[in-house]
A and B are shown apart, each in its own frame.
Chain A
């Protein structure tokens, strides 16, 4: 299984809503990532978990709250988002070899619209 599965595929939420994005992989990877991608732009790193511990937070606003319940699952909890947060949210995983050659495996993303 070389897939990273993300749910839901599409999400529309109001600015006062609370929602969660979910990501799952069964490749035995120990690093998991959240990226944000605006239309016609490259993915931008948000968070990285390594061995279920938060390793990198790229100064992401607190209205985005990541969670890694176990090595296969990654969640992104959303609360009080702004319309400018509308984007494609991509989950990725990698082996976490400790070296620079971390090959990322991406899911298909959740297309989020904040109204």
Chain B
């Protein structure tokens, strides 16, 4: 079946630096993409989303980029902080209730 995947399982960055987490998706029918953050002992939390008719969307310190040509999604975190340490999942929704999660990237922030 089709799935969402990630290029890197772990990412280590220095506090204050920018982080970029990448994701590849394979379902060209997907219309909606989401990034979730999961901290230890908690459920995934919504960070930011983007529809397929957009290529960029910005939030507070986070930006999501969508490249439909190569089926690539990325999450950029500006001025990474220790509180950003978590596992980040990209997810896609081709329609309906079936949100499909990628494998996840663990982000370590070094003080």
Assign chain A's interface to a size class. 20 to 34
Contact, CB under 8 Å: A101 / B51: yes
Number of cross-chain contacts by CB at 8 Å = 62
Near A by CB (< 8 A), chain B positions 14-73 give: 31-32, 34, 36, 41-46, 49, 51
In the assembled complex, the Cα of A31 lies from the Cα of B89 at a distance in Å of 21
B residues less than 8 Å from A31 (CB atoms): 97
- CB proximity of B89 to chain A, nearest CB, Å: 6
Residue contact B42 to A108, C-beta cutoff 8 Å: yes
List chain A residues, Cβ under 8 A from B32: 100-102
Q: Assess A50 versus B97: contact at CB under 8 Å? Given A42-B89, A42-B104, A100-B31.
A: yes
17 A-B pairs with C-beta separation under 8 A: A4-B43, A31-B97, A42-B89, A50-B97, A56-B98, A90-B44, A92-B43, A100-B32, A100-B93, A100-B96, A102-B32, A103-B46, A103-B49, A106-B44, A107-B43, A108-B43, A109-B42
Measuring CB to CB, which residues of chain A are less than 8 angstroms from any residue of chain B? 4, 31, 33, 40-45, 48, 50, 55-56, 90, 92, 94, 100-109
